[in-house]
Every structure is written in structure tokens, then in C-alpha cells.
Amino acid sequence: MCLYIDDLIFIGNDEIMFEHFKKSMMVEFDMSDLSKMMYFLGIEVLQMVAVIFINQRKYVVGGFGEI
């Protein structure tokens, strides 16, 4: 699980602890739960049960523009 807060990523594998942390952050700060993180600073994030993949596929597929 990943939690993105103002250019920081919190990652954990204990779902109960993670939910508790997220709720305490929501009490302290004005925050919304936007579900699973899909992009972080232009990097695609794929979250699966046992692993998290990050890639920049859109830059490769989209090309590099004119040189």
C-alpha cells in the first residue's frame, strides 16, 4: 500500500497499521483518500498484492519530441 502526501510516499505491508496511520493523518490534516496511487511526479505506479512496479512507459511510448 502507498500513501502520497505532499511529495512524500508512505509504503507499508500491514494493512491495519496503514489504515490507522491514514485515519490519524486525516484527523490532523485536511486530506482525502483518492484510492491507490497511479502516478507520482510523472512516474506510473502499478500496485499488486506482493509488489509495486514503477515505470516511465509514457515517455518511451510518446517519444522524445523533436531534437
What local confidence, expressed as pLDDT, does residue 67 receive? Answer: 47
Distance CA 38, CA 35 (A): 9
Distance CA 19, CA 3 (A): 10
Chunk the chain into consecutive blocks of 10 residues (it has 67) and report each block's average pLDDT, rounded to whole numbers: 66 84 85 78 84 82 58
Q: What are the two backbone dihedrals, phi and then psi, of residue 56, each rounded to the nearest 5 degrees?
A: -125, 45
The overall pTM is greater than 0.85: no
> What is the bridge-based pairing of β-strands 52-55 and 43-47?
antiparallel
